[in-house]
Amino acid sequence: MDFNVLKQNLENLGYKVSCFDRAKEAAEYLNTQIDQRSVGFGGSVTLEQMGLYEKLVSHNEVYWHWRIPEGKTDKDMRLEANAADIYISSVNGIAETGEIINIDGNCNRVAAIFYGHEKVYLIIGENKIAKDYDSALYRARNIAAPLNAKRLGMKTPCAAEGKQCYNCSSPQRICRGLSVLWEKPSSCMFEIVLIHEELGY
């Protein structure tokens, strides 16, 4: 995996790219970039590990269905996140060639990444990087999805085995929507934040 190659390929596809050695440095950077805005978070272990919500919420309106205020529901938070000025998420896989892949159950996260915000930040640890599109897709389906299903306590074959996708028909299946960004969408600004640490699944 070569950060310089990935950075160059992403920039060629229209993205702004920032690179950091540590998650702490990336969180501090984002905290200086985002101020007095409405911010939506996608479901993300990466963002949780960075402590990013706690930093941003002190001077922004942050909407995250993992932090539900009294009187609100998770659906309320997803809708408000999807309508925010800024949206922040991680990804399930990214190819060195630049394709960005996400798998989603409710599909609020993939919908929000695609459209509706002034700017989208995608935060990516080095463990999410794969050599090419096929490898990134394999990673999203057979590594990220089973680990997330297991984390959520789902009764699916992948959660039980924790090794691969079985393309199951379980009612608790979490991989219901697949998104691929071939290039930066023309609707808004995108910044990819690459971190030289393993983060999330």
Q: What is the pLDDT of residues 98-157, one digit of tens each?
A: 999 999 998 999 999 999 999 999 999 999 999 999 999 999 999 999 899 899 889 998
Helix (H) or strand (E) holding 179: strand 177-181
Average pLDDT, stretch 87-103?
A: 97
Assign 33 to helix, strand or coil: helix
* pTM score of the predicted model: 0.95
The CA distance from 132 to 60, in Å, is: 37
The CA distance from 133 to 13, in Å, is: 15
